[in-house]
């Protein structure tokens, strides 16, 4: 098998993987996007970066590529007039996802990375360009807000 054949096979494997896991990858993008931008645009860019890579086709690699792409877009738009958005409730296999999606962006991003994807405080800080103490505060705020929302819904 030639190098070109291997490259084409790798591209096809990534395209199939992204198609098969589309809904979950969209949720990752939506949870971390700071501004109004199509998650499809994020997925296309993340996929294009992976198609030529030689890394193994895994969910972790796909999630990392989506996260890296979202962070890149968030940094590019940090000084733009676009405002941070609050998402409409969504359905995913993560308990409390609708409450998470209603959090303000900084809390949502931190809670999603720390509480759902189980990133360390240090990893989260590096991705979001925040200090550990800021990550801890945002995570506590999010946890309190989610706890308050769930108590309100039970009434």
Residue with token string 């000084």: 79
Q: What is the pTM of this model?
A: 0.76
Q: Which residue has the higher pLDDT, 94 or 141?
A: 141
**For residue 153, what pLDDT is reported?**
45
Q: Which long-range contacts (CB under 8 A, 24 or more apart) does 38-44 make?
A: 42/66, 42/69, 42/70, 42/73, 43/18
pLDDT tens for 66-119 read 999 999 988 887 665 444 444 443 334 566 788 888 899 999 999 999 999 999
Q: Which H, E and C letters describe 19-57, residue by residue? A: HHCHHHHHHHHHHHCCCCCCHHHHHHHHHHHHHCCCCCC
Q: Tell me how far the alpha carbon of residue 5 is from its chain's centroid.
A: 32
Q: Which token pair is 69?
A: 């792409």
Length of the chain: 155
**For residue 91, what pLDDT is reported?**
36
Rg for the chain, CA atoms, rounded: 17
Cβ–Cβ < 8 Å for 74, 33? yes
**For residue 2, what pLDDT is reported?**
61
Q: Which residue has the higher pLDDT, 126 or 53?
A: 126
Instruction: Give the confidence band of 40 by pLDDT, cuts at 50, 70, 90.
Output: very high
Query: Rounded to a whole number, what is the distance in angstroms from the first to the last CA of the chain?
Result: 63
């Amino acid at each position: 098998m030639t190098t070109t054949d291997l490259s084409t096979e790798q591209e096809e494997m990534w395209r199939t993987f992204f198609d098969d896991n589309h809904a979950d990858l969209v949720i990752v993008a939506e949870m971390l996007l700071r501004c109004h931008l199509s998650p499809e645009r994020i997925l296309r860019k993340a996929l294009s970066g992976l198609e030529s890579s030689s890394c193994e086709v895994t969910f972790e690699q796909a999630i990392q590529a989506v996260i890296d792409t979202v962070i890149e877009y968030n940094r590019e738009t940090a000084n733009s007039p676009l405002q941070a958005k609050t998402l409409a409730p969504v359905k995913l296999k993560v308990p409390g996802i609708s409450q998470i999606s209603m959090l303000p962006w900084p809390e949502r991003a931190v809670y999603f990375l720390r509480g759902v994807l189980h990133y360390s405080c240090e990893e989260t800080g590096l991705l979001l360009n925040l200090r550990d103490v800021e990550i801890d505060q945002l995570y506590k705020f999010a946890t309190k807000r989610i706890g308050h929302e769930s108590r309100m819904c039970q009434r």
